[in-house]
């Protein structure tokens, strides 16, 4: 049975001990969760396929007046995790060849 007139100091100690334990537990869980998702996912860098270049020219995404032509573009295929936590290996992004090495 609890005493009605508890010592305020012991009450503060009990609550601070609980709060400290809760903080350590939360930190441990977050560290483990972050560590499991923080691994770099593999990517593949390749030249833009000819059929994709032709499609970009045919749809006027690229034309002869553009300062950047297909030979300066790279297609990066990468692995990603969707919002449901499922891993996919079909992510694609097209970038300038000078920045492509930074996507590894």
Same domain, 30 and 58: no
Residue 58's domain comprises 41-104
Question: 70 and 37 in contact (C-beta within 8 Å)?
Answer: no
Number of domains in the chain: 2
pLDDT tens profile 12-68: 666 667 776 776 667 666 665 555 555 555 678 999 999 999 999 999 998 889 888
In this structure, are 33 and 45 located in the same domain? no
18 and 65, same structural domain? no
Band (pLDDT 50/70/90 cuts) for residue 70 is very high
Judge if 50 and 95 occupy the same domain. yes
Nearby residues of 43 by Cβ (< 8 Å), 6 or more positions away: 76, 77, 78, 79, 103, 104
Read off the pTM.
0.56
């Amino acid at each position: 049975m609890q005493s009605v007139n508890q010592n305020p100091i012991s009450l503060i100690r009990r609550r601070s001990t609980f709060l400290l334990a809760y903080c350590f537990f939360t930190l441990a869980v977050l560290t483990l969760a972050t560590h499991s998702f923080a691994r770099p996912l593999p990517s593949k860098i390749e030249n833009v396929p000819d059929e994709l270049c032709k499609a970009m020219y045919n749809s006027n995404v690229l034309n002869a007046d553009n300062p950047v032509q297909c030979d300066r573009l790279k297609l990066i295929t990468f692995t990603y995790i969707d919002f449901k936590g499922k891993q996919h290996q079909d992510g694609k992004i097209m970038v300038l060849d000078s920045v492509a090495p930074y996507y590894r």
